[in-house]
Amino acid sequence: MNSPCPAPGPAAPNPAAADARPAIERTAHCTDMAQVRARIDALDDILVPLLVERGGYMTQAARIKATQEQVRDEDRIAFIVARVRERALAEGGQPDLIEAIYRSMMEAYIAYEHREFERLRAPSAAGAAAGHAQG
């Protein structure tokens, strides 16, 4: 049995954000591209599981929403964009860059949610086979 979905808590504090230094000043100093790529790969290893988890919530949203029209929620998109721009500033990042990344990511997740909406409502292969056997 799945546990209930708790309300998300506040974002984890980032001690580096308190000094509002630009992100470049808070990254490890790399002297060659191999080091840069290793750091990026390590970040990707953190990001990918989080993106997979986010996708799981998109599947839940597709299950909960009653119509395809509810999948794209412009008010929610505007809220998320404003929120991540604010977070980017607080982290010493580039709000325009973060917004562009999030808009692209949200479009991909919206397309995914549309597919999930259809998949979750499609007759199962077993159900379709049973219907043919009876008919």
pLDDT at 51: 99
pLDDT at 17: 47
Measured CA to CA, the distance from residue 85 to residue 91 in angstroms comes to 10
pLDDT at 40: 97
Residue indicated by tokens 């290893």: 45
Q: Read off the pTM.
A: 0.77
Domain extents in the chain: 26-121
Average pLDDT over residues 84-110: 97
Measured CA to CA, the distance from residue 98 to residue 109 in angstroms comes to 16
Q: HSE of 48 in the Cβ direction (CA atoms, 13 Å)?
A: 6
pLDDT, tens digit, for every residue of 118-135? 999 999 844 554 555 555
Measured CA to CA, the distance from residue 57 to residue 113 in angstroms comes to 9
pLDDT at 125: 46
Architecture of domain 26-121: Up-down Bundle (1.20)
pLDDT, tens digit, for every residue of 14-57? 544 455 677 778 889 999 999 999 999 999 999 999 999 999 99
Spatial contact of 110 and 72, defined as CB atoms under 8 Å apart = yes
